[in-house]
Structures are given as structure tokens and as C-alpha cells.
Amino acid sequence: MRRISILIITCFLSVPNLFAGDPVLKIASFNIQYDNARDKVNTWDKRLPGVVSVFNKYQFDIVGAQEPYLSQLNDLMPQIPDYAYLGINILGDTTTVVLRRHHTPIFYKKEKFDVLDWGTFWYSETPDVPGKKGWDAYSPRICTWAKFRDKQSQREFFIFNNHFDHLGDIARRESPKLLLAKIKEIAVGYPVLTMGDFNTNQYHQNYRILSESGVVKDSYQIARNIRNRNTPTYNDYNPDQKGSSRIDHVYVSIKPEVKVKSYRIITDAYKGIYPSDHFPVLIEAEIPERIK
């Protein structure tokens, strides 16, 4: 009987994650402002150490970032060697090296995830046409998406990282509709996390297109714990910035349900300088199994 008991216990211990529950990942959205040559105070060389510090301190698993130039990514990556990134620039240049053009990259921990697929679509009437400026947008805008597998849990999930236009009324209304259509097209049945600088706060009617879609939910609304609740995500490098306007969001899928343990707006400064004109948004999310 004793040998049988030991055998049973050994079998249970050999099955990975049998009692572990859903894996919890640290997922963030971080608008790393572009290298603005006109800003002589908050220069990239001053901000770079702060960006590195945030990555090192919070040990994100995955970060959806917005705005950085390739030149900034080239500066950043050697200092965060645990990470790789996916993404191209807003015009879709892949044959030439253009250092000063916006990207919407997804950073991920190389040793933790397998990349199963990834791609880009443009927020326009023709989303598969590279570099197309849509509707009344000020500039081309993109979504970088990726399908990941957690190497430990073997859970598969999708990330959609976005940067919506900041001026076009039609573009800001149509972009969330296109995002929802693409999620249904690309990621049906899988857990989804979609983040970014949506340039629309929680009080705007366009916010409801996503938050009331029945497809995704704003993580802020369902998080069990929230830090820096009444803090704007756009800081404009002003430590006295007031209000609660959130234009940077992380949404999670409803089916399958991604549960949110915690939500935090990161307000760290580095040697008196904010790393960006946006605060990062960090959530801890439980990744469920896909619906088969």
C-alpha cells in the first residue's frame, strides 16, 4: 500500500501545473514618446535611462509600446537584453533602414514565450495596404499583433498593440470598429489582450465602442486591485498634472475570460525626469485556456 501511495504522489507531481491554476502575466502599455528634436528639455538621451529603469524594475512579461523610432529601439534593446520585440514602422518599410519613423512594437521576454505568428494592419479603409492613412487621420496608424505561447504553461494567447489617431474624428470612431473585426478574424477562441494609446479617454463616446462591445473589457473596470486610480495616463512631463483622464488602456477578452488581478498606472520618474509624456499602464492578468 505504501508503494502504491508513493507512486500516486509521484505521478501527480510529474504533471505540470496540475494545481497551479491560470498563469499570471504582467502585461503593460507604454507610449515611449518619439525622439522629439524640438523638445530641448526632455531629450531622448535623458529619458532613455528612465525607460530602462522601468523595464528593469517592473519586469514586464509583455509590453505594447507606441511611438519609438528605430533609432530609439536600437538604443534601448542592448540595455534590456532579456527582451526582443516585434514590429515595423507605420509606413511598412522593410527593405530600407529608416531611423526616424514611428513604430508600434511588442516587447516580450525571449526565454518565456514562443512567437507563433505576428503581423501588422493599418487603421484605414484598406487595412492590408502598408502606409495607408485612413479616413481623416493626421498620419498612418497601425496595430501590431502577435500570437504567443507561454513556454511553461503552454497557454496560447494574442496581443494586439495599437496607436489610434489623435485628431481625426472619423478615424477615432472607425479604428475601434476595425480592431474588433480583426480580433474576431484573427484570434477567435483565444485569450486576447489589446492595449495602446487610444487617444480617447473613458468619458468619450468612442471609448464605449470597445468597452461595451461584448468582446473585450477595460481592465481598469474589472481589476481586483487598482493603484494610482485618479491619475491621468498622459502627463505632458508635468508632475502637477491633475485629473483622471485615461487615454492609454489595456483591454482583455470576455470569452475566454481573462481575469485581472491588479491594475497600476506607473508614475515613476528617473532623476527628476519622466521617461515619457505618458505613464505606463501595468496589469497582472490570468491567462485562461482557449475555447476549442
The CATH number linked to 34 is: 3.60.10.10
- Is 9 within a domain? no
Q: Which parts of 51-154 are beta strand (E)?
A: 62-66, 83-86, 106-109, 113-122, 142-150
pTM of the predicted model as reported, rounded to 2 decimal places: 0.93
Q: Which domain holds residue 225?
A: 20-286
- Is 43 within a domain? yes
Residue type, 55: F
- Is 6 within a domain? no
Tell me the percentage of the chain whose pLDDT exceeds 90: 90
- Is 65 within a domain? yes
pLDDT tens digits along 5-28: 444 444 444 444 444 589 999 999
pLDDT at 20 (0 to 100): 57
Show the low-confidence residues of the chain (pLDDT under 50).
1, 4-19
- Is 115 within a domain? yes
Neighbours of 187 (CB within 10 A): 21
- Is 10 within a domain? no
Looking at the 3D structure of the chain, how many domains does it have?
1
- Is 12 within a domain? no
For the beta sheet containing 281-286, the strands, ordered from the edge strand earlier in sequence to the opposite edge, are 83-86, 106-109, 62-66, 24-31, 281-286, 259-265, 225-227
- Is 3 within a domain? no
pLDDT at 95 (0 to 100): 86
Contact 249, 25 (CB under 8 A): no
pLDDT tens digits along 146-161: 999 999 999 999 999 9
pLDDT at 149 (0 to 100): 98
